[in-house]
Amino acid sequence: MIKVIDVCKSFGNLQVLKNVNLTVAPGEVVVIIGPSGSGKSTLLRCMNYLEKIDSGKIYIDGQLIGKKEVNGKLVEAPAKEVYKMRENIGMVFQRFNLFPHMTVLNNLMEAPVLVRRMDKGAARKLALDLLKKVGLEEKANAYPAHLSGGQQQRVAIARALAMEPKIMLFDEPTSALDPELVGEVLSVMKELAREGMTMVVVTHEMGFAREVADRVVFMDEGRILEEGTPQQIFTNPQHPRTREFLAKIL
Amino acid sequence: MSGSSGFVWDWAFTIKMLPLLIKGAGMTVLIAACAISLGTCIGLVIALIKVVRNPILNYLGGLYTWVFRGIPLLVQLFIIYYALPGATGINLDPFPAAVLGIGMCGGAYIGEIIRAGIQSIDKGQMEAALSLGMSYSQAMRRIIIPQTYRRLIPPMGNEFITLLKDTSLVSVITMVELLRTAQIYASSHFKPFEMYITAGLIYLLLTTFFTVTFGKLENKLAQSE
């Protein structure tokens, strides 16, 4: 479903991704862990091309993202094609990024109506179904500012799902939440995983990784140092950096 | 009547001249309305070409602001009305010259106001919109620009008031508006005090309209958040 091949990325002189390779199978839940500054969020943001990559290739559902092969050479794809590809990739952000000038319902309806030209009635029904799924149907007409952080993040997940994506990317979805609100967001994510959604999750929630991940990937200083089942990574880490990291946080 | 110790306001004259001053004020309002509309359109374009990721457009936007904000409006008006005809054969009537001069200058300021407004929106908003499959222009139109409205109101109110007052400069290119009307009758009847004070009060009335309207608008938009 996702194939990251030899991806490099620098911000100025700082190389944040160094020849990263990663494959995610359909329906798989991959959790990326690692210290801050390890490049895990950047890797995630490259997958829907919010960040351009310097070299390498990323395939989503068999399609090259952000690039195009012309006469055997890799060139930047036209913006239009990048927009189109993003429709299949939902993303949830650390800071929720709900649209504050719209009601919850309109947050969910906006993209399906604008981008997919969905009929308003159908979009509304889809939005209400999704709100029900995340347990917030009664908040349909509220503005984001009137919701708690946990509620906002659940709306943000529903908003991404409204585009009926094939893949969901989560960029530290619970890091900005008060501790008591983390659970409600994680349980929505667990539900999604059970339904077979392909998910890539950057998180510090080791409990979630242990319980839900099919595979855990440990990143440090722009490289994937180790990957394996949660069992392998948490009980028998091979790389000294992984051991050091886990010792600090567990 | 106008001795150094015994000045008396000439009410009869003031009242007689009031319709003429109001007519002049009508022209002031017309110039201001046209110039503000033009300036807002120009400002929006300048702001957009300054925020898109295109160095050539960014440069052109910067160049525009640099020139039209840096040269005094009075000089710009002289150039448009007195210098252009001789140099280029473009011969504008006073009214379009006035609207163009104030509008282009205002556009430079409004462009900066709108640019700052757009850039003050959290960049996560654009990322969220793009991640949902929206194009850059859809995201701008539906997500970013609507969020700037409330933040734009106070500086735009200021700018509209400035532009309205700037219309008083166009008397130098033979436009007969409020100030020029006052000037004509002040000198022909030796009543500068009555005429300029009354003109000043009419300007105050007009700018008060903007102050009140923008204040109401700000309150209204504040409620929806």
Among chain B residues, CA nearest to A50: B127
Query: Which residue of A79, A97, A156 is in closest CB contact with B125?
Result: A97
CA–CA separation, A130 vs A158, rounded Å?
A: 6
Phi, psi (degrees; rounded to nearest 5) at B176: -95, 95
Average pLDDT over residues B174-185: 94
In a domain, B205, yes or no: yes
Dihedral sign for Cα atoms in the order B8, B11, B13, B17: positive
In a domain, B21, yes or no: no
pLDDT at A6: 95
CB-closest option in B129, B133, B143 to A87: B133
pLDDT of residue A82: 93
Q: What pLDDT score does B224 carry?
A: 59
Contacts of B87 (CB under 8 A, 6+ apart): none
Residue B223 pLDDT class (50, 70, 90 cuts):
low
pLDDT band at B225 (very low <50, low <70, confident <90, very high): low
Q: Is residue B136 part of a domain?
A: yes
pLDDT score, position A250: 76
Share the mean pLDDT of chain A: 95
* Within a domain: B24: no
User: At B89, which CATH number?
Assistant: 1.10.3720.10
pLDDT value of position B53: 86
* Residue where the block lists tokens 């310097």: A54
**Structure token pair of residue A105:** 């319902």
Span B31-48, average pLDDT: 97
What integer is the mean pLDDT of A150-175?
97
Indicate the pairing of strand A89-92 with strand A63-64.
unpaired
Q: What is the mean pLDDT of residues A73-81?
A: 89
Query: Which residue in chain B is spatially nearest to A49 when comparing CA positions?
Result: B131
Question: Range with the lowest mean pLDDT among A70-74, A120-124, B3-7?
Answer: B3-7
Domain-embedded: residue B49: yes
A83 to chain B: closest CA residue? B133
Task: Tell me the pairing of strands A67-70 and A73-76.
Answer: antiparallel
Give the pLDDT band of residue B124 (cuts 50, 70, 90). Answer: very high
Of the partner residues A48, A50, A111, the one whose CB lies closest to the CB of residue B134: A111
> Taking the C-alpha atoms of B213, B219, B224 and B225 in order, what is their torsion angle to the nearest 10 degrees?
130
CA-based angle A158:A162:A167, to the nearest 5? Answer: 85
Longest pairwise C-alpha distance within chain B: 77
Q: Determine, yes or no, domain membership for B86.
A: yes
Distances, alpha carbon B167 to alpha carbons B103, B160, B178, in Å: 10, 11, 9
Q: Is residue B143 part of a domain?
A: yes
For residue A134, which of A95, A164, A161 has the smallest C-alpha distance?
A: A161
Strands A167-171 and A198-202: parallel
Q: Closest Cα of chain A to B57: distance in Å?
A: 17
For A86, phi then psi, to 5°, come to: -65, -20
State the pTM of this model. 0.85
pLDDT digits (tens, 9 = 90+) for B135-145: 999 999 999 99
Question: Nearest C-alpha of chain A: how many angstroms from B220?
Answer: 13
The answer to whether the beta carbons of residues A150 and A92 sit under 8 Å apart is no
Nearest to residue A161, comparing CAs of A186, A189, A139?
Answer: A189
Mean pLDDT of B6-34: 94
User: What is residue B196's predicted lDDT score, i.e. its pLDDT?
Assistant: 96
Q: Does B137 touch chain A (CB under 8 A)?
A: no
The stretch B102-129 carries a mean pLDDT of: 96
Chain B 147-206, CB below 8 Å of chain A: which residues?
Answer: 147
**Does the pLDDT at position B72 exceed 60?**
yes
**CB within 8 Å: B135 and A80:** yes
**Residues of chain A neighbouring B136 (CB-CB closer than 8 A):** 79
On whether residue B6 sits in a domain, the answer given is: no
Q: Is the pLDDT of residue A117 over 90?
A: yes
The amino acid occupying position B216 is: K
Is the reported ipTM for this assembly greater than 0.90?
yes
pLDDT of A194 higher than 90: yes
In the predicted model, is pLDDT for residue B5 greater than 70?
A: no
Domain extent at residue B70: 33-224
Please answer yes or no on whether A83 and B130 come within 8 Å at the CB atom.
yes
Across the range A139-166, mean pLDDT stands at 96
Rounded Cα distance between A93 and B140, Å, is 19
Residue B150 distance to chain A (closest CA, Å): 10
Total domain count for chain B? Answer: 1
Q: Nearest CB to A83: which of B122, B135, B225?
A: B135
What's residue B83's pLDDT? 92
